[in-house]
Amino acid sequence: PRSHAGRIALVTGAASGIGKAIATRLAAEGACVAVVDLKLESAQQAAAELGNTDVAIGLQADVTDAGQVAAAVEAAVLAFGGLDLVINNAGLSISKPLLETTEADWDLQHSVMAKGSFLVSQAAARVMMAQKLGGDIVYISSKNSVFAGPNNVAYSATKADQAHQVRLLAAELGEYGIKVNGINPDGVVRGSGIFAGGWGAKRAAVYGVPEEELGAYYAKRTLLKREVLPEHVANAVAVLTSDELSHTTGLHIPVDAGVAAA
Protein backbone atom coordinates (compact mmCIF):
# COMPACT_ATOMS: atom_id res chain seq x y z
CA PRO A 1 0.00 0.00 0.00
CA ARG A 2 1.12 3.53 -0.70
CA SER A 3 1.63 5.29 2.63
CA HIS A 4 0.51 8.77 1.55
CA ALA A 5 -2.51 7.87 -0.57
CA GLY A 6 -4.97 10.78 -0.62
CA ARG A 7 -2.76 13.14 1.37
CA ILE A 8 -2.08 16.64 0.09
CA ALA A 9 1.49 17.90 0.23
CA LEU A 10 3.27 21.19 -0.46
CA VAL A 11 7.04 21.18 -0.92
CA THR A 12 9.04 24.43 -1.14
CA GLY A 13 12.13 24.63 -3.32
CA ALA A 14 10.88 21.50 -5.08
CA ALA A 15 12.06 22.33 -8.61
CA SER A 16 15.56 21.06 -7.79
CA GLY A 17 17.69 18.72 -5.72
CA ILE A 18 16.41 17.42 -2.40
CA GLY A 19 13.00 19.12 -2.72
CA LYS A 20 12.40 17.57 -6.12
CA ALA A 21 13.32 14.13 -4.76
CA ILE A 22 10.90 14.64 -1.84
CA ALA A 23 8.08 15.71 -4.17
CA THR A 24 8.77 12.69 -6.38
CA ARG A 25 8.74 10.28 -3.44
CA LEU A 26 5.55 11.72 -1.91
CA ALA A 27 3.81 11.52 -5.30
CA ALA A 28 4.96 7.91 -5.64
CA GLU A 29 3.42 7.25 -2.21
CA GLY A 30 0.08 8.50 -3.50
CA ALA A 31 0.09 12.12 -2.33
CA CYS A 32 -1.11 15.07 -4.38
CA VAL A 33 1.83 17.48 -4.49
CA ALA A 34 2.13 21.24 -4.89
CA VAL A 35 5.64 21.99 -6.16
CA VAL A 36 6.61 25.49 -5.03
CA ASP A 37 9.68 27.36 -6.27
CA LEU A 38 10.95 30.82 -7.18
CA LYS A 39 10.24 30.46 -10.91
CA LEU A 40 6.82 29.35 -12.11
CA GLU A 41 8.24 27.62 -15.19
CA SER A 42 10.63 25.40 -13.27
CA ALA A 43 7.98 24.58 -10.65
CA GLN A 44 5.52 23.61 -13.38
CA GLN A 45 8.14 21.56 -15.22
CA ALA A 46 9.01 19.62 -12.06
CA ALA A 47 5.30 19.08 -11.33
CA ALA A 48 4.67 17.80 -14.87
CA GLU A 49 7.32 15.12 -14.27
CA LEU A 50 5.24 13.86 -11.33
CA GLY A 51 1.96 13.48 -13.20
CA ASN A 52 -1.01 15.44 -14.50
CA THR A 53 -2.59 18.41 -12.72
CA ASP A 54 -4.92 16.12 -10.74
CA VAL A 55 -1.91 14.96 -8.73
CA ALA A 56 0.79 17.60 -9.13
CA ILE A 57 0.80 21.34 -9.73
CA GLY A 58 3.64 23.85 -9.97
CA LEU A 59 3.31 27.14 -8.10
CA GLN A 60 5.49 30.23 -7.95
CA ALA A 61 6.34 31.69 -4.56
CA ASP A 62 9.30 33.42 -3.02
CA VAL A 63 9.09 32.09 0.54
CA THR A 64 10.38 35.41 1.91
CA ASP A 65 7.17 37.12 0.77
CA ALA A 66 4.17 36.52 3.04
CA GLY A 67 1.70 37.41 0.27
CA GLN A 68 3.24 34.95 -2.20
CA VAL A 69 3.35 32.22 0.45
CA ALA A 70 -0.32 32.77 1.32
CA ALA A 71 -1.26 32.70 -2.37
CA ALA A 72 0.62 29.43 -2.95
CA VAL A 73 -0.95 27.74 0.06
CA GLU A 74 -4.38 28.97 -1.05
CA ALA A 75 -3.80 27.69 -4.60
CA ALA A 76 -2.78 24.25 -3.30
CA VAL A 77 -5.86 24.06 -1.08
CA LEU A 78 -8.07 25.14 -3.97
CA ALA A 79 -6.53 22.62 -6.36
CA PHE A 80 -6.56 19.58 -4.09
CA GLY A 81 -9.14 20.41 -1.40
CA GLY A 82 -6.91 20.72 1.67
CA LEU A 83 -3.38 20.48 3.02
CA ASP A 84 -1.91 17.68 5.15
CA LEU A 85 1.82 17.81 4.71
CA VAL A 86 4.26 20.69 4.26
CA ILE A 87 7.99 20.45 3.64
CA ASN A 88 10.17 23.50 4.33
CA ASN A 89 12.99 22.76 1.94
CA ALA A 90 13.66 26.02 0.02
CA GLY A 91 17.14 27.23 0.69
CA LEU A 92 20.42 28.66 -0.47
CA SER A 93 23.87 28.70 0.97
CA ILE A 94 26.32 31.55 1.31
CA SER A 95 29.71 30.17 2.20
CA LYS A 96 32.00 32.93 3.45
CA PRO A 97 34.46 33.52 6.27
CA LEU A 98 33.09 35.66 9.12
CA LEU A 99 34.87 38.86 8.09
CA GLU A 100 33.63 38.61 4.49
CA THR A 101 29.99 37.90 5.41
CA THR A 102 28.03 41.05 4.64
CA GLU A 103 24.87 42.34 6.24
CA ALA A 104 23.09 41.55 2.95
CA ASP A 105 24.40 37.95 3.04
CA TRP A 106 23.10 37.54 6.59
CA ASP A 107 19.71 39.05 5.74
CA LEU A 108 19.21 36.96 2.60
CA GLN A 109 20.23 33.73 4.30
CA HIS A 110 17.89 34.37 7.22
CA SER A 111 15.00 35.71 5.16
CA VAL A 112 14.87 32.57 2.97
CA MET A 113 15.40 29.89 5.60
CA ALA A 114 14.38 31.31 9.01
CA LYS A 115 11.66 33.76 7.95
CA GLY A 116 10.62 31.80 4.85
CA SER A 117 10.01 28.56 6.71
CA PHE A 118 8.21 30.47 9.50
CA LEU A 119 5.86 32.05 6.94
CA VAL A 120 5.19 28.71 5.22
CA SER A 121 4.61 26.89 8.51
CA GLN A 122 2.28 29.62 9.75
CA ALA A 123 0.19 29.63 6.56
CA ALA A 124 0.05 25.81 6.56
CA ALA A 125 -0.82 25.58 10.26
CA ARG A 126 -3.70 28.00 9.73
CA VAL A 127 -5.20 25.59 7.19
CA MET A 128 -4.40 22.42 9.14
CA MET A 129 -5.82 23.74 12.42
CA ALA A 130 -9.08 24.69 10.68
CA GLN A 131 -9.29 21.29 8.97
CA LYS A 132 -8.94 19.50 12.33
CA LEU A 133 -7.31 16.52 10.59
CA GLY A 134 -3.83 16.84 12.04
CA GLY A 135 -0.91 17.06 9.67
CA ASP A 136 2.83 17.07 9.25
CA ILE A 137 5.34 19.90 8.92
CA VAL A 138 8.91 18.91 8.08
CA TYR A 139 11.97 21.16 8.03
CA ILE A 140 14.93 20.23 5.88
CA SER A 141 17.46 21.68 8.29
CA SER A 142 21.08 20.49 8.28
CA LYS A 143 23.81 18.79 10.23
CA ASN A 144 25.15 22.35 10.39
CA SER A 145 22.26 23.34 12.68
CA VAL A 146 24.13 21.50 15.43
CA PHE A 147 27.77 21.17 14.32
CA ALA A 148 30.10 24.07 13.61
CA GLY A 149 32.39 24.36 10.62
CA PRO A 150 34.43 27.17 9.08
CA ASN A 151 33.18 29.79 6.58
CA ASN A 152 29.57 29.07 7.27
CA VAL A 153 28.24 31.38 9.95
CA ALA A 154 25.12 32.83 8.26
CA TYR A 155 23.97 29.49 6.82
CA SER A 156 24.54 27.44 9.96
CA ALA A 157 22.97 30.03 12.27
CA THR A 158 19.78 30.09 10.20
CA LYS A 159 19.68 26.27 10.14
CA ALA A 160 19.84 26.36 13.96
CA ASP A 161 16.92 28.79 13.87
CA GLN A 162 14.97 26.26 11.80
CA ALA A 163 15.81 23.51 14.29
CA HIS A 164 14.33 25.54 17.12
CA GLN A 165 11.25 26.31 15.02
CA VAL A 166 10.75 22.53 14.87
CA ARG A 167 10.72 22.24 18.66
CA LEU A 168 8.62 25.37 19.20
CA LEU A 169 5.98 24.43 16.64
CA ALA A 170 5.90 20.81 17.81
CA ALA A 171 5.05 22.17 21.26
CA GLU A 172 2.41 24.59 20.01
CA LEU A 173 0.73 22.44 17.36
CA GLY A 174 0.80 19.07 19.11
CA GLU A 175 -2.67 19.44 20.56
CA TYR A 176 -4.00 19.82 17.00
CA GLY A 177 -2.42 16.53 15.97
CA ILE A 178 0.12 18.34 13.84
CA LYS A 179 3.57 16.72 13.99
CA VAL A 180 6.60 18.92 13.36
CA ASN A 181 9.93 17.24 12.66
CA GLY A 182 13.23 17.96 10.96
CA ILE A 183 15.78 16.22 8.81
CA ASN A 184 19.49 16.98 9.09
CA PRO A 185 21.13 16.05 5.80
CA ASP A 186 24.82 16.42 5.04
CA GLY A 187 26.97 16.17 1.95
CA VAL A 188 24.25 15.81 -0.68
CA VAL A 189 26.45 16.89 -3.56
CA ARG A 190 24.92 15.15 -6.57
CA GLY A 191 21.73 16.79 -7.81
CA SER A 192 22.05 19.78 -5.47
CA GLY A 193 21.73 23.22 -7.06
CA ILE A 194 23.39 24.69 -3.98
CA PHE A 195 26.53 22.60 -4.56
CA ALA A 196 26.51 23.14 -8.33
CA GLY A 197 26.03 26.89 -7.92
CA GLY A 198 29.32 27.68 -6.18
CA TRP A 199 29.03 26.12 -2.72
CA GLY A 200 30.64 22.91 -4.01
CA ALA A 201 33.68 24.80 -5.34
CA LYS A 202 34.06 26.64 -2.03
CA ARG A 203 33.75 23.50 0.09
CA ALA A 204 36.19 21.67 -2.20
CA ALA A 205 38.68 24.51 -1.65
CA VAL A 206 38.17 24.33 2.15
CA TYR A 207 38.83 20.56 2.12
CA GLY A 208 41.61 20.74 -0.50
CA VAL A 209 40.00 18.30 -2.97
CA PRO A 210 38.98 18.75 -6.64
CA GLU A 211 35.29 19.69 -6.87
CA GLU A 212 34.45 16.58 -8.93
CA GLU A 213 35.72 14.42 -6.05
CA LEU A 214 33.69 16.20 -3.38
CA GLY A 215 30.91 13.55 -3.24
CA ALA A 216 33.49 10.80 -2.74
CA TYR A 217 35.32 12.96 -0.17
CA TYR A 218 32.13 13.40 1.86
CA ALA A 219 31.40 9.66 1.56
CA LYS A 220 34.84 8.75 2.91
CA ARG A 221 34.36 10.74 6.11
CA THR A 222 31.01 9.09 6.92
CA LEU A 223 30.70 6.07 9.20
CA LEU A 224 28.95 4.12 6.44
CA LYS A 225 31.38 5.24 3.71
CA ARG A 226 28.37 6.07 1.56
CA GLU A 227 27.47 9.11 -0.50
CA VAL A 228 24.18 10.75 0.52
CA LEU A 229 21.80 11.38 -2.39
CA PRO A 230 18.60 13.48 -2.53
CA GLU A 231 16.59 10.22 -2.58
CA HIS A 232 17.92 9.27 0.84
CA VAL A 233 16.55 12.50 2.32
CA ALA A 234 13.24 11.87 0.53
CA ASN A 235 13.07 8.35 2.01
CA ALA A 236 13.42 9.81 5.51
CA VAL A 237 10.64 12.34 4.85
CA ALA A 238 8.32 9.58 3.60
CA VAL A 239 8.92 7.46 6.71
CA LEU A 240 8.77 10.37 9.15
CA THR A 241 5.40 11.51 7.79
CA SER A 242 3.89 8.03 7.45
CA ASP A 243 1.45 6.50 9.94
CA GLU A 244 4.31 4.34 11.18
CA LEU A 245 5.73 7.39 12.99
CA SER A 246 2.38 8.78 14.14
CA HIS A 247 3.74 9.32 17.67
CA THR A 248 6.95 11.14 16.81
CA THR A 249 7.18 14.94 16.94
CA GLY A 250 9.90 17.51 17.63
CA LEU A 251 12.58 15.12 16.35
CA HIS A 252 15.49 15.64 13.95
CA ILE A 253 16.66 12.67 11.91
CA PRO A 254 20.20 12.81 10.52
CA VAL A 255 20.53 11.69 6.91
CA ASP A 256 24.29 11.96 6.70
CA ALA A 257 25.57 8.36 6.55
CA GLY A 258 26.80 8.83 10.11
CA VAL A 259 28.86 12.02 10.00
CA ALA A 260 27.16 13.60 12.98
CA ALA A 261 27.59 10.41 15.01
CA ALA A 262 31.29 10.10 14.24
- What number of CA atoms fall less than 13 Å from residue 157's CA on the CB side? 17
37: β partners: 60
**Least distance from ligand NAD to the Cβ atom of residue 112, Å:** 4
Smaller CB distance to ligand NAD: residue 131 or 228?
Answer: 228
Residues contributing to the site for ligand NAD (CB under 6 A): 12-13, 15-19, 37-38, 62-64, 89-93, 112, 116, 140, 142, 185-188, 192-195
Residue 95: partners with Cβ closer than 8 Å, 6 or more residues away: 151, 152, 155, 198, 199, 202, 203
- Which pairs count as long-range contacts for 38-46, CB under 8 Å and 24+ apart, including other chains? 38/62, 38/90, 39/15, 42/15, 42/16, 43/14, 43/15, 45/15, 46/14, 46/15, 46/16, 46/20
Least distance in angstroms from the C-beta of 6 to ligand NAD: 26
155 included as an active-site residue: yes
Instruction: Tell the smallest beta-carbon distance from residue 248 to ligand NAD (Å).
Output: 20
Largest CA distance in the chain: 53
Nearer to ligand NAD, 63 or 77 (CB): 63
Question: Between 43 and 170, whose beta carbon lies closer to ligand NAD?
Answer: 43
CB environment 145-175: b (16+ within 10 A), e (fewer): beeeeebbbbbbbbbbbbbebbeebbeebee
CB of 70 or CB of 92, closer to ligand NAD:
92
Pick the closer one to ligand NAD by CB: 133 or 209: 209
Give the CA distances from residue 61 to residues 78, 117, 145, 220, in Å, rounded to whole numbers and listed in that order.
Answer: 16, 12, 25, 37
CB of 65 to ligand NAD, least distance (A): 8
The least distance separating ligand NAD from the CB of residue 8, rounded to whole angstroms, comes to 19
Q: Which of 139, 155, 217, 218 is catalytic?
A: 155
User: Helix/strand/coil (H, E, C) string of 2-19?
Assistant: CCCCCCEEEEECCCCHHH
- Report the catalytic residues: 155
